[in-house]
Amino acid sequence: MDKKSQIIQNKVFLVETLFADPDFILQHVQQAKLITHREYLNLKDIPGGEKRAIELLDKLTGKGEGTCCQFIDLLRKDDILENFPTLKDHAIFGSPVHEIAQYKIEQFPRGICVIINNVDFTTMSERRGSDEDHKFLAKVFRWLGFKVVEYRNKTADEMKNLLKALGTTVNGDCFVCCVLSHGVSEGVCGTDGNVVSVDEIREPFTGNNCQSLAGKPKLFFIQACRGNKNQNRVRVQADSPEDGESEMEVDGDADPFDITIPADTDFLIAKSTTDGHSSYREKKGSWFIQSLCRNLEKHCPQGTDIQTILLCVNNDVSREGIKSKQMPVHEVAMRKKLILRPRPVSH
């Protein structure tokens, strides 16, 4: 359960606990910069400790998951627990044993986001709409603080060579690779129709091939078919009406410590569809990439981790279409949570 939901679920307990000394908790929340000075003064002017505690919790949950995580951490501090002893060992903290660490994302730029956009092929159809995916990806990852490196219409050998070269020079706290192309079950197609396997895309950034990224998160987003089969449909109760089906195409031929970790650690590979199945794209872009970008824009400012965001993408894409269906899938070899906040705005 996320921290925002924990606060909401335990709101009655927190109000009953904190309203005994609302000024004390308000001061600590303001000192931790979870609220602004103006918000602090407005809350302090609210009459009655219970109402003040309710308004404080509403204000914090309204600021999103990141603020809620910081508030829960604040409640764990010794001086807070000393003042509110009933907080000790309460379920709102969960089990410290199961707390998941986060990757350290401090550098700016965060790292490199490489986009390979194959549109024109010698023996396959033009991938109309892929440029819309390309533009949206570049916009979102620049906003998230990455240096975006863009390539267009690369053969299979050119893709392999540029990825090998990147593996020797790339640096930063995180690496992102987006590949937009036709695909088959064996991998992703270059513009010459030859195939690059997912292992060949990933390999330059593993273990000894890329020491600069050892222990750091490496994300791969692949928009391509993995076969020609359509996903079977199953009827479920709808939460909302489905949109009408539009014209579409398919993307196919049809730490500082002296420790060691596995060479294949810290990878997340998100693919637009399951093995053997088609991946759909329209003139306005592909179902997968458009949903990915929308969900990054929506959830990253709230401090939501990448794996949770990808679950939102899976849910969105699974609802697309009427006759044709698609299900993204991601392979995870991550040790920590990855949270990518937008880059700071310079004034």
**DSSP states of 163-209:** HHHHHHH--SSEEEEEEES-EETTEEEPTTS-EE-HHHHHGGGSGGG
Domain spans, the chain = 3-98, 111-228+249-333
Active site residue 134: no
The predicted model scores a pTM of 0.66
Pick the CATH number of 3-98 from 1.10.533.10, 3.20.20.70, 1.20.1250.20, 3.40.640.10: 1.10.533.10
Q: What is the DSSP letter of 273?
A: S
Q: Is 323 helix (H, G, I), strand (E, B) or coil?
A: coil
Q: Is 108 helix (H, G, I), strand (E, B) or coil?
A: coil
In tens digits, what is the pLDDT along the chain, a chain of 347 residues?
A: 578 888 888 888 898 888 888 899 999 999 999 999 999 999 999 988 889 989 999 999 999 988 988 998 898 888 888 888 888 767 666 544 345 789 999 999 999 999 999 999 999 999 999 999 999 999 999 999 999 999 999 999 999 999 999 999 999 999 999 999 999 989 999 999 999 999 999 999 998 889 999 999 999 999 998 766 655 554 444 333 333 444 556 665 444 334 454 667 899 999 988 787 778 788 889 999 999 999 999 999 988 999 999 999 999 998 887 777 888 899 999 999 999 999 765 54
Catalytic site residue from 182, 277, 299, 330: 182
- CATH architecture, domain 111-228+249-333: 3-Layer(aba) Sandwich (3.40)
Catalytic site residue from 225, 299, 300, 330: 225
Active site residue 300: no
* Helix or strand run (H / E) with residue 223: strand 218-223
pLDDT value of position 255: 42
